[in-house]
Structure formats: structure tokens, C-alpha cells
Structure 1
Amino acid sequence: MYPFSEELIINRIKEVLITGNNEIDKVFTYILESNGKMLRPRLIFLTASLYNHKPEVVKDIAVAVELIHLASLIHDDVIDKSLKRRGRDSVNAVWNNQVSVLAGDYLFATAFNLINRYGLPSVLENITETIQTMCAGEINQMALAYNLDINEDDYYLKTYQKTSCLFASSSKIGALISSAPKSEVIALENFGKNLGYAYQIIDDVLDFVSDSQLLGKPAGNDLIQGNITLPVIYALKNEGYSQITKTLIQECQIPEKMDLLIDVLWESKSIDQSVLTSQEFLNLGVNHISTLANSTVRKELELLAYRMLEHYYKKIKKVNMIAKKGAVQKNGTACSLNY
């Protein structure tokens, strides 16, 4: 199979999206100007390369999954009333909610059109179930908004529904396309699922430790929206920091209070703990593919997994070093981070 490239996916997306209608094409051109890391198409390409496959089919299924991912992001921005996406104005900020919803729907329809061309019922079934799960996750997240009694199981369910399930689906359908043995399909699905957990946990940590310019939104924006994530859950469980965490959450609309809350997340080692949990999921995912017959593909998947998160682990560690210096200057103490 020809090697994966972002250009390959983007060019195919343009082929299936661009309509010739200037008003519609302006929206999709804007969306495609800020493409992400394309992790899900990469997973499909790699897992499909385990066994014999048709390159054109793999490419189109990978494009379909990326379109589904983009559609979900556009709809999320409408639901969350977010005006930024990847550091740029969101579609709903540039146009409006109506255009955003319709653009997302168009992406979903285009994705299903691509899948239906190849008569792959197992792939179609998996993707439709995944989209149902993602929608349930959005509803579940809204139901849990501002709920300080949320526990880790609640968080992991929400994380699976909103993020991890699409990673799992991408890994699984690549294997399905190449007619991999059932045992390897399951192993790859579990690999993708755990990779999705690791990725989302780090994304939730970055919401607190990255500067607003990099995030394209204020630090702690998820919490401001009522989304209680793992670092906060760990702080709420910590007897020494639970009460101050609750108090600061109630006042986190004030930027100074958010800064204090972030300090608490460092001092309580809730961020440290979250990073280590992410690493545990990453290692668990890699363990699931340790017995793959195709060692070359296995190594590529391992490299993708570790490289995907290594940059973020290093960034958080660097931010922690700065935080430690600030804490020492302030009161002579500092938290530690061993990763």
C-alpha cells in the first residue's frame, strides 16, 4: 500500500467535498485550512496494512472517518458555544450555528456515501454504532456538567463515548478491511481504545497547563463550561485539597481564581497523577498488540502511539519545572513530577 500522508487525505477530502457552489465551498475550504494530526486515518492505514487490502478502499474509509471526526468537532463547538478551534475562529464564530450544523451534517453524509460505495457491512455497522456512542457521550457530558460528585468511572465512560470509541473504531475497521483474524481485530480495537483514553487524559491536562494562545481558548475553559475532568476529580478526592478545590470551582469564572485552582492541581499532584494514568493507558494499549503476527506493523503502531503523546508529556514536564521554580520562590516548596 502507498504510504500514508496528510496530503493524500486532504486531496481526497477536497475531491469529495468541493461542490462548485461558492458559498458552500468557502465553508469547507475554511475547515480544511486547519487540519489536525489525522491520527484516526493513520491508524486505519497502519492496521489495514496487516494483511491484503485494496489501497483505494483504505484511503476512502480513512477519509470517511476523518470527515466524521471533523463533523463531530464542528457540532461540539455549537453545543459548547466555543468561538475557537485549534487557535482559529470556529465555524460557528465565522458564520453561525445554522451553517455549522448543516456543514457537520454534510460531512456526515459525505462520509456515509464513501463507505456505502464498497459494500462493507461490518465497517458500516461499526461506524454507525460509534457515532451513536459519540452522541450519547455528548448527552452524558451535559448531564454531568458542574457535578462535583463525578467519579472516575463516570469520567472514563464519558471519555470512551466522546473520544476513545472513535480511536477504537479506527483501529478495528482498518483490520476489518484487511480481513485480519478475529483475535487481531479485537487486539487492535483494544489498542485504539486505550490510546484514546491516554490521548484524552493528556488533552484534559493541557486544558489547565497550556497557555491560552496555544490552546486557542482560555486555560481551564473545559471547567468553565462545566466539564469536570480527571485532574479535578483527583483533586476533589484528595482530602487535603478537596474543599479548596470545590470553592475555587464555584468561582472559576474569575481568571484569578482559575490561576489559583491550577496551582492547587499542581500542589495536590493531581496533574502528575493524571499524566501517569495516561501513561498507564498508553502502555496497556501497546501491550494489547504485543502478539501481532506482523512485527513491522506492530512497531509502527507502537511508534505512532508513543510519538503521539511524547511531545505532550515533555511539554507538561517543562511547564511543571517552571511551576516548581515559582513555588520555591513563593513559599520554599514545590511539587515533584517523575516522568
Structure 2
Amino acid sequence: MEKMKLKLLYSDLGPELEMIEKELEQAVDSESLLLNDASLHLLQAGGKRIRPVFVLLAGKFGDYNIDVMKRVAVPLELIHMASLVHDDVIDESEIRRGRPTVKAQWNNSVAMYTGDFILARALERITEIESPRIHEILSKTLIEVCRGEIIQIKDKYKLDQNLRDYFRRIKRKTALLISSSCELGALVSGTDEKTAAHLRRFGYFIGMSFQIIDDILDFTSTDEELGKPAGSDFIQGNITLPILCARKDTEIYAMLKANLNKELSNEDRLMIVDTIRSSSAIEEAKAMSDRYLEKALRELSFLPKGKAVKTMRKIAYFIGKRNF
């Protein structure tokens, strides 16, 4: 239901997004039946397609041409998809969006090669754009995403990490790819440098807010709403902002420490989720997300007025206040 509400905010982009969806299907097509099935399994699980949406909206500030815009939108979404497959292997996730993950449906080896294949397809598609600068931005973004994944592995089960560790991690994990979506969408459409810079910063700030809200929802949503067990981040050893805020309570800290990196019963899992959910940590984390949301909206105030800005503002507010 909530995803449908989000899609209504950018319903004007419907025909373009349908075109991008078809391009994604073509991009993951393979002569290997196994690779084809595994890639389509991930693609058909759906998603918000936030990155392509921001590519298209950013392009509205320049010389908008969907045939050009899709050359950026498709590779960026493929990169995101590839990172999800790899994430599920690292986190040993069985469920994503209510469906078995690629690693659960097949195995780790198939999942890793599927992720590599999708990433290779992204790099193949981006070569259609003859712009060294766009290739440079994309390659630097990929490097930072990989660094973020390594940092996440290093920080697993590390309850005593500081907030800077967390923000550094989600910057690379989520915010930079959304930031690049906005910047590349602007640049490929010939938008001026000042506008592109504001769009890049908007993407970064809204990406930070987006990930914080995701981490909050892991505790405040139900298993059914999430399409996976609530509290999965903690179970997998990913120490997120709600946990970092909640650990200030000595009793909660002791409880988290005692249950970290161990096999939890469903009862224990729900107990941890309920404890975090009823603590002040959720409101503290929301306040931090709100600060990033405010910064994102401020960047939009510097952009030329028009429909694209209005849509971006609505999406930003929805992302920062969503309940799914």
C-alpha cells in the first residue's frame, strides 16, 4: 500500500519507468538459463526504483531525452540490484521483499555470480555514454560502495562503535548511489554545474535520511510489512542507529550484549524488537533522519522552480516520513 502511494507521487513518469523496466529485463537476459532465472527472480521481486526516478527527475532540469536518460538510469539500478544480491550472501539473508533471496532459492555461489553478472551488465550499459566525467563519477561511486560493504563486515557485531562509524557506513552503502543518480541525471541532460551540485547534495542528504528510516523500520514494522523478520539487522550483526541510541540505557545495553551474535529464538527476537521499539531510541533516530531531510529540502530551494522540484520535494518528504 505504501509503495503504491509513493508511485503515485511520480505517476507522470509512468511511461518512462515502464521503458526502464523493460530495459532492465533485457539487460539481465543471458544465454545461461540459471543466470537468467536468478537475475529475473531478483528483478521481479520489485522495488521502489528510487534511483531511476531521481535520474529522470534530475534530467528535467536540462535537455531531457528519455533515450539518453535511460542509459544512466538502467546501469545505476543494476548496480543497486547487484549490491543487494551480494548483501544477502554476506548477511545470510533468506528473505527479501517477502520472497526467498537468490542465495536461498539457489545457493551462495549462484548468488555471487549473479551479482557479478548484473554488475558487469551495468558497466556494459554505461559504455553507451561517451563522457569521461560520467564514467569517473560512476567508478568512484562503485569504489566507495565496495568500501562501505567492507566497513559493514568489519563493524559487524561491534556494539561499541561510535555514531561516526555508522554514518560513514550508510553514506557509502546507500547515500552515495542516490547522490550519483541525481548528479548523473543532471549531467547527462546538460544541466549547468550549479544545479547539478545542488542535486548531488540533495541526493546525498535524502539518501542518508532514507537509510536511517529503513533502519528504524526494521524495529517498528511487522514481519509481514517488512517481508522479512523484524530485527533482522541486529540478528545479522548490523549495528544500526536505533541500537546505537538505545544502548545508552545500561539495562538495554546489557540485554543487547548478551544476545549479540547468538542464535535467537523467535521469542527472544521479538523481545529485543519490542524493547527497542518502546525505548526513546526510535524518536532520537527519527530526529536525526529529520535533520538530513531538512538539509535535502533546503537544497531543493536553490533549484529552478517547476514540476520536477515539486515532485522531488514530495518524494523526499514521503521517504523521510514513510512507515514501510
Superposition TM-score, scaled by structure 2 size: 0.89
Matched residue, 2:229: 218
Residues 1:51 and 2:62 aligned together: yes
Matched residue, 2:281: 270
Structure 1 pair 24/263, CA: closer, same or farther in 2 (3 Å)?
A: closer
Whether the 8 Å CA contact 1:145–1:227 is kept in 2: the answer is yes
Counterpart Cα distance in 2 of 1:249 and 1:260: 13
Matched residue, 1:87: 98
Whether the 8 Å CA contact 1:164–1:194 is kept in 2: the answer is yes
Matched residue, 2:319: 308
What amino acid maps onto 1:206 in structure 2? L
SS at match of 1:34: coil
Matched residue, 2:8: none
| Structure 1 residue 138: Cα displacement | 1.0
Structure 1 pair 300/249, CA: closer, same or farther in 2 (3 Å)?
A: same
Q: Which structure has more RCO (C-alpha within 8 Å, separation ≥ 6)?
A: 2
Residues 1:137 and 2:148 aligned together: yes
| Structure 1 residue 288: Cα displacement | 1.3
Residues 1:118 and 2:129 aligned together: yes
1:171-186 maps to which residues of 2 (within 5 A)?
171-186=182-197
| Structure 1 residue 270: Cα displacement | 0.4
Residues 1:246 and 2:246 aligned together: no
Superposition TM-score, scaled by structure 1 size: 0.86
What amino acid maps onto 2:230 in structure 1? A
| Structure 1 residue 175: Cα displacement | 1.1
Q: 1:229 aligns with which of 240, 248, 258?
A: 240
SS at match of 1:226: coil
Whether the 8 Å CA contact 2:28–2:40 is kept in 1: the answer is no
What amino acid maps onto 1:146 in structure 2? Y
Structure 1 pair 174/299, CA: closer, same or farther in 2 (3 Å)?
A: same
Residues 1:3 and 2:13 aligned together: yes
Counterpart Cα distance in 1 of 2:159 and 2:238: 10
SS at match of 1:158: helix
Alignment gaps of 5+ in structure 2 = 1-11
Matched residue, 2:302: 291
1:19-98 maps to which residues of 2 (within 5 A)?
19-98=30-109
Counterpart Cα distance in 2 of 1:166 and 1:152: 21
Counterpart Cα distance in 2 of 1:24 and 1:188: 36
Counterpart Cα distance in 1 of 2:159 and 2:192: 44
Alignment gaps of 5+ in structure 1 = 316-339
| Structure 1 residue 240: Cα displacement | 6.7
Counterpart Cα distance in 1 of 2:258 and 2:53: 43
| Structure 1 residue 276: Cα displacement | 2.2
Structure 1 pair 301/250, CA: closer, same or farther in 2 (3 Å)?
A: same
| Structure 1 residue 20: Cα displacement | 4.9
Structure 1 pair 42/255, CA: closer, same or farther in 2 (3 Å)?
A: same
Q: Percent identity?
A: 34
Whether the 8 Å CA contact 1:9–1:63 is kept in 2: the answer is yes
Matched residue, 1:103: 114
SS at match of 1:237: coil
SS at match of 2:191: coil
Give per-residue Cα distances to partners, 1:49-73, cap 9 Å, x unaligned: 1011432110121011111110110
SS at match of 1:3: helix
| Structure 1 residue 89: Cα displacement | 0.6
Whether the 8 Å CA contact 1:176–1:185 is kept in 2: the answer is yes
Whether the 8 Å CA contact 2:71–2:128 is kept in 1: the answer is no
What amino acid maps onto 1:261 in structure 2? I
Matched residue, 1:147: 158
| Structure 1 residue 247: Cα displacement | 3.9
Counterpart Cα distance in 2 of 1:226 and 1:183: 41
Which of 153-162 and 238-247 deviates more? 238-247
Matched residue, 2:7: none
Counterpart Cα distance in 2 of 1:22 and 1:10: 20
Matched residue, 1:194: 205
